Structure 1
Amino acid sequence: MEFLQQNWYWAALAAASGAWLMADLIRNRGDKSQLSPLEATLLINREDAIVIDIRDPGEYAQGHVPNARHIPAGELARRSGELEKWKNQPLILCCATGARSNSALQTLRQAGFDKLYNLRGGMMEWQKAGQPTSRKRK
């Protein structure tokens, strides 16, 4: 008890951090469109999912998921027709951290795509998980 009194700020920080993690867990629990790098790899291997990298050209050139198609976020609505041939396959959107690609899901949903997924954590998590990257253009 004395420790908590003397270090109340650490206890408060731990409680706040735990609450934030729980809120994030609860918020994403029902969202099946968010994939971890491992889940994305399984979807690519088992169902021939197509990865669409929506980062800027410079980011894409630094390394991307092997065989990922590159369509920058700003061009996604205009170029969604290029994806029509894969309309019945799962599409995994990818960016640097997962934020831009998560919002880009809406663009493709409005274009009539159903099997849409977001690489949670983007390329940052992909690389942290030790997954391969490529610099070849697709």
Structure 2
Amino acid sequence: MNFDELLAFAGRNQFNMILSMALVGLTVAIAYTEIARLFRGYKPLRPAELTRLINTENALVVDLSASNDFEKGHIASSRNVLPSSFDPENKLLAQAKSLPVVLVCRNGQASAGAAKRLKKAGFEQVYWLDGGVAAWQQADLPLVKGR
């Protein structure tokens, strides 16, 4: 097959070529995302994994929920820090640089971003609760009400 025949084939099968290129592009994007996730330095946890960390490694659990949401229900022993005042140099956090620190929010979105900030600030063991308090409740784990 020479170059002219290849161009003719591509012209006749242009739609298939576009689909093939799209598939290659999506494959590359997914591979890049997964590789980047492996090397980012902070990890998502499931509720059962968080329970193990709390019970065996004295993990600090930081809940980034609004105060009224925190009072409606939070994980036992978690500390409430408002997202607007979240700072890796916070006295509570600075004392736990070598301990496991787990960030929690209502749905897992704000905690993932905060985990990235802690890792950049030099924290060694950083986690976030994948799915947040909603995932904790879905796993039928208890919440504590009040402060």
Category of TM-score, reference length = shorter chain: 0.7 to 0.9
Structure 1, gaps ≥5 residues long: 1-22
Aligned length: 114
1:64 to 2:84 alignment: no
Among 94, 117, 129, the alignment partner of 1:119 is 129
From the CA coordinates, give the structure whose radius of gyration is larger: 2
After TM superposition, the structure 1 = structure 2 runs for residues 80-99 of structure 1, keeping only pairs within 5 Å, are 80-99=90-109
Residue-by-residue CA offset, 1:72-107 (whole Å, 9 max, x unaligned): 111112762321222211010000110100011122
What is the percentage of aligned positions where both structures have the same residue?
Answer: 32
For 1:73, give the aligned amino acid: P
Distance 2:47 2:142 in 1: 11
- From 50, 55, 72, give the equivalent of 2:65: 55
1:76 corresponding residue in structure 2 = 86
Equivalent position to 1:109, from 86, 95, 119: 119
Structural RMSD (CA): 2.3
